[in-house]
Structure 1
Amino acid sequence: MSEEIISPPSRTPFISAANRWFKVAHALGLKQRNTLDREVLMEEVSNEAGLTDFGDPWFAKPYDALVDALREEARLNLSGEFVAEMQFRKVLTDRLNAQHWFDRHPEILERALPRPVIVVGPMRSGTTRMHRLLAADHRFQHLRSFETISPVPPQDFERGDEDDERVTTARKIQRMARLANPRTLNIHPTGPYEPEEELGLLVNSFWGMKHEAQWMVPSYGKWCEGEDARPAYRQLARLLKLVSWSQQKSSLKPWILKTPQYMLDLDAVLDTFPDARFVFTHRDPKAVVGSAASLAWNQTIIYSDHADAGAVGREWLRKTEQQIATMRRVRDRIDSSRIIDVHFEEMDRDWQGAMARVYRFLGMDMAPALSGMEDFMTRSRALKRKPHRYSLAEFGLDEGEVTERLSDYVETYGVRVEGRERRSA
């Protein structure tokens, strides 16, 4: 066993250099300071796009809650301010373009979303592996990474066009992410065409944990936990229909869906997809909390010079508790015939056996999908350049406290726990 990790990792020099450049550019008047003012950005992107309809105005509520938290808590550096404005502009532009597509092609919203298979579990509990294995089956539909980054095609997009500018955008963003902190793509390996979760479709409503994993905004997270998420999921469903239509896929093909945000919004998920089937993933909560804190830390340090490892650890312990508590409360609404539970170590030990059990639950033959799944497992090992190493101690957390606070979850679902603290995965 290697020596225990005491301090969390630091970011690369790239961001410090970028911050110095922004400081000089601001001082010389070469660049204005960034703004997140909603009315200003909406007017500017509307003028640029030549469109005025942003769709359901509900998004303004989470937008404003997020901006308040960014101003009061996140302590963004100059690079962080720049990235935040670019992200907000992009989401607003996507909303304009989405509404424009719906207005021009009303048949998009008439498409069905039948019987999706939804992977639900705490962040870092093996949801990505399960999602990507199922996505290897061509009998299902799935979102690709470039589509979660840019779910809305540009106005000049033609269906079947293989030269999609969104792929180029995804590659640029992923190159910048590797420069800013290569550990983020080691923790969650991806590529433009890799199957990816629907976080970007929730970000389209300024909703969800993607923001909390990127910036230290606990008040925004708590605000979301007290709000009705259904408007965000209505928009997610509309965007799924747009993606499927743009892919020229049959609307009869079930979707494979996954994001840990579903743990917090299970009521809204059930109302949006009333005939869904659910694969619940489980993992030792010590690994879940430590890995989630590490993921959030490695993003937060890019955008702020004042990240506090202890605060990150405490927030993701709280967040994990909240995910599990909400899931357990709402799960009772789902008929047991539509639920299967899969454990992380079961997948580690015998992924083919575990997936065979999932396919029996779905009433499908796994044989046609097996070669695609094996290809994914080979590809995932190539994508994951280095193992994800983390510990609870580096985030000021104690194994005993985490185990005690989540002991009821462990007992209820028969989750296997380990005694050692330092982990990979």
Structure 2
Amino acid sequence: MVDAGIRAGRGLGLVDEACWDRDALMEEVAREYGLDDFGDDWFTRPLDVMLDSARVEARLNAAGDFSAMKQIHHLLRDRLYAQMWFKRHPEILARPIKNPVVIVGPMRSGTTRLHRLLSSDRRFAHLRSFETISPVPRPDFEEVMAGEKEDFRPVLAKRIMKVARLANPRTLSIHPTGPYEPEEELGLIAASFYGMKFDAQWRVPTYTRWCEEQSAVPAYRHMANLMRLIGWSQQESSLRPWILKTPQHMLDLPALLEVFPDARLIFTHRDPKSVVGSTASLAWNQTIIYADDIEVAPHGREWLRKTELMIERMRSARDNIPRERMIDVQYDAMDRDWRGTMERIYAFLGLDMEPAVEGMEDFLARSAAMKRRPHSYSLEEFGLSTGEVYERLGDYVRKYKVPVEDPFALTRPAIAAG
């Protein structure tokens, strides 16, 4: 429906064709907003690769390339506005970010649940969903802070979520959210046109491999500055530790720790059969909004490869992290006894959990109400088999003692699905 509407609009000359030229896009945004400082120009490198990869490989439909242009315009505008705020209020960049608590785990390994439980504790700072969509306030935000205007960003977030759900209603059951719900910082990393946000919505293999070969430090530095801006806009105490989480950290732990050297890390683990199946399903349900002819089996193999790489990078990076700065949490343990698991985490953080329990219970009740129906998926629908997943990720299961649905499958030879 959305795709047909955009095609019709283009036929009538009401909707512009997609532009894949980076210089032209930057010039257009700079002219529209009367600003020309985009900050550290490192972002132009991933943007160039992304534009070429999306144009050639993503096979976007009209809704896909229209959405791509809107996203790029939005991100470029936010870079301009961010530099404007940093110049207008230099104290923003002086805000410390001390002892952040970072949840690190594969996609669909319970990171969202844990992040939202911890975010319900007012002793921590966290990002809200509208702030990961639009981390940078508009130029009139000082009037919002003075109570003279409404912040438009939550309104925009609600509209974007509504369009996404109309395009594919399954997104609501896979990742329930709302404008004010705690959310991960993937959008802040994407502000540098880097990372998995784009992998999970478009088929862009050249861009994906390029990102996997880069140092992400510049993207993480910009993310940290956006966190400072968000903390300032929330009028949040800089003494409160941030709660962070995004699967991107699995790939980029060295960059994370260079930018946040005193981070405390919570690693989540889940049966890789469920991780791969659920991840492929999540990415698939986003990708098919933007492209009409994505092949199912290659999509499944790509997310198995990506999950394997994430785990490999995470395991390698852990070798250089002091043991007292990290803790491991099993998805199944959280399912069986969330309170007992959270008590372990709070002991690791050196905090009394009791003041946070009421907020956590409120979150769990709200979460149950938001989730309309269970997320259903299987490996087989993506051309994968349990044996293949365990053959490639069985060592991870054994190393971290991850409970699996079928322990005997770890010893059986792999048989390809289909």
19, 24, 35: which is aligned to 1:35?
19
16, 28, 32: which is aligned to 1:48?
32
Q: Does 1:394 align with 2:381?
A: yes
- The answer to whether the 8 Å contact 1:36/1:84 transfers is no
Letter paired with 1:51? L
Structure 2 partner of 1:90: 74
200, 205, 211: which is aligned to 2:198?
211
Letter paired with 1:352? R
1:325 Cα deviation after fit: 0.3
Structure 1 partner of 2:413: none
Structure 2 partner of 1:296: 283
2: CA distance, partners of 1:275 / 1:347: 26
Q: Does 1:69 align with 2:61?
A: no
1:21 Cα deviation after fit: 2.7
1:126 Cα deviation after fit: 0.5
- The answer to whether the 8 Å contact 2:2/2:167 transfers is no
1: CA distance, partners of 2:146 / 2:156: 18
Structure 1 partner of 2:415: none
1:30 Cα deviation after fit: 3.0
Letter paired with 1:43? E
Identity of aligned residues (%): 61
- The answer to whether the 8 Å contact 1:160/1:246 transfers is no
Letter paired with 2:355? P
Structure 2 partner of 1:81: 65
Letter paired with 2:200? A
Structure 1 partner of 2:110: 126
Q: Does 1:372 align with 2:359?
A: yes
277, 281, 284: which is aligned to 2:271?
284
Q: Secondary structure at the match of 1:390?
A: coil
15, 22, 33: which is aligned to 2:6?
22
Structure 2 partner of 1:180: 167
Letter paired with 2:219? A
Letter paired with 1:210? K
1: CA distance, partners of 2:177 / 2:297: 28
1:159-208 deviations in Å (ceiling 9; x for gaps): 36472100100000011011000111210111010000001101100111
1: CA distance, partners of 2:326 / 2:242: 16
1:34 Cα deviation after fit: 1.6
Structure 2 partner of 1:331: 318
Closer/same/farther in 2, CA of residues 315 and 160 from structure 1, 3 Å limit: farther
1: CA distance, partners of 2:388 / 2:319: 27
2: CA distance, partners of 1:24 / 1:234: 42
Letter paired with 2:321? I
Q: Secondary structure at the match of 1:51?
A: coil
Q: What's the TM-score, normalizing by structure 1?
A: 0.94
Over aligned residues, Cα RMSD in angstroms?
1.2
1: CA distance, partners of 2:92 / 2:161: 30
2: CA distance, partners of 1:41 / 1:326: 34
Structure 1 partner of 2:186: 199
Q: Does 1:138 align with 2:122?
A: yes
1: CA distance, partners of 2:292 / 2:332: 37
Deviation beyond 6 Å, 4+ runs, structure 1: none
1: CA distance, partners of 2:250 / 2:323: 17
1:108-160 deviations in Å (ceiling 9; x for gaps): 00010000000000011110011000000000000000000000000110236
Q: Does 1:190 align with 2:174?
A: no
Letter paired with 1:257? L
211, 214, 224: which is aligned to 2:211?
224
Structure 2 partner of 1:246: 233
Closer/same/farther in 2, CA of residues 256 and 25 from structure 1, 3 Å limit: same
2: CA distance, partners of 1:371 / 1:20: 47
1:27-84 deviations in Å (ceiling 9; x for gaps): 3333331213211111111111111000000000111111111012110000101000
2: CA distance, partners of 1:43 / 1:151: 22
Structure 2 partner of 1:273: 260
Gaps of 5+ in 2: 410-418
Structure 1 partner of 2:292: 305
289, 302, 309: which is aligned to 1:315?
302
